[in-house]
Amino acid sequence: MILLLAGAALPGGTPAQPAGTDAAPADPLARARALRDEARQLGSRNTLPAAWNSYDKSLTDLAAGTPQADAVAVLELEGHRLVARARFLNEVRESRSPLEQLLARYDRSLREIAALADVTLPPTATGDAAAAHLLDLLEKQRRQRQVLVDSLLVQNRQLQELTGGRLAAQDSLITSLRIELSALRQRLWETELRAGVAEADRSAAETTLAQRQAREAAIREIVADLGDKANVMLQPDGTVVMQVHGLTFGVGSAALAPGQVELMTKLANAVGRFPGAAIRVEGHTDDTGSRPANLALSQRRAATVAGGLERRLKLPEGSIATAGHGPDRPVAPNSTEEGRARNRRIDIVVPPVE
């Protein structure tokens, strides 16, 4: 083993680094210099003299002081751009019909952009004239869409002001009216039975009444079981809707947060009270974030809940239909945290069995 003493010469005549001293710091402009060398090799000093001189001067100015990280990053970006432009000009110069090919590529790119933006360029437009026409079309389209967005925002504010905090009270009133209507229908059926409906019709009426009574009894039990975790509503056609606010997910996630097992079990028990019904699970979000992202998130959350119900009820995968409505069906104003929390929900829809 060879021991190197402090100050001893390494092979080749280089003094050894003294013990306890740091190595020389890395050059923060090394990458920028390498890009300049690459651009020089590609001939940018002749083909792009203005860009070359600007980059070389910026590099020299930074090297004269203490370069900051953000300035170095900007310089490297300019270096990459200079190299790419020099390489492109070399490709154009080396091709057989450079100007014709360059114009064709330019026109093709403009028409691809126009197609993506759903605008149409005149078939005879080419070169700078086509580019100017495309910019005019895109600006006109932007202004039209901005007007539409502004109009929708105004309408949304007006709707929020109109509904305000009345939605919750209206939901409660509607639920009470539907239950009362159901009771009136039950009494009507009983009256018709007492009035002497034909035996066959009476038997069918009694069966329908029994089913209705059983359904209403099931709803009362579900309401008691779920408590404040859900609003249970009976619609005029007999459809039961459970608006579940108690299920929670991670922000932007379709995975159920910990501690949801008990509520999921109660929901499975509630669904199990309606054998043979075509159950549908619908996801809803508030209006925070983009509508496409919220639509996709609500669909994934609905699928998560549907899968959990299928496993607990031992149903085949895909037996329960799902839908994601995102922010499109709010039940409360999104202008308050309480309203947004009510809108972030899962609806379990149970239509009557045919």
| CA neighbor of 8 nearest in space, from 18, 285, 278, 43 | 18
Helix or strand or coil: residue 299? helix
The model scores a pTM over 0.85: no
Helix or strand or coil: residue 282? strand
Distance between CA 345 and CA 242 in Å, rounded? 10
Helix or strand or coil: residue 351? coil
Mean pLDDT per 10-residue segment, the chain (354 residues)? 36 44 72 93 92 92 89 93 90 71 78 85 82 86 87 82 66 78 79 64 61 76 87 87 89 88 92 91 93 93 93 92 94 90 92 82
Q: Which residues contact 291 (CB under 8 A, 6 or more apart)?
A: 326, 327, 328
Q: Could you tell me whether strands 240-244 and 280-284 are parallel, antiparallel, or unpaired per DSSP bridges? A: unpaired
| CA neighbor of 285 nearest in space, from 342, 203, 219, 335 | 342
Tokens (6 digits) for 176: 């009470």
Tokens (6 digits) for 196: 């002497």
pLDDT at residue 56, as a whole number: 93
DSSP 114-181: HHHTT----TT--HHHHHHHHHHHHHHHHHHHHHHHHHHHHHHHHHHHHHTTHHHHHHHHHHHHHHHH
Strand order in the sheet with 345-350: 230-234, 240-244, 345-350, 280-284, 321-324
CATH fold, domain 164-350, is 60s Ribosomal Protein L30; Chain: A; (3.30.1330)
Q: Say if residues 56 and 36 touch (Cβ distance below 8 Å).
A: yes
pLDDT at residue 19, as a whole number: 46
DSSP 207-257: HHHHHHHHHHHHHHHHHHHHGGGEEEEE-TTS-EEEEE-S--B-TT--SBP
Spans of all domains in the chain: 30-94, 113-161, 164-350
Helices then strands, each counted (H, E), the chain: 11, 5
∠ CA(145), CA(148), CA(153), 5° rounding?
A: 125
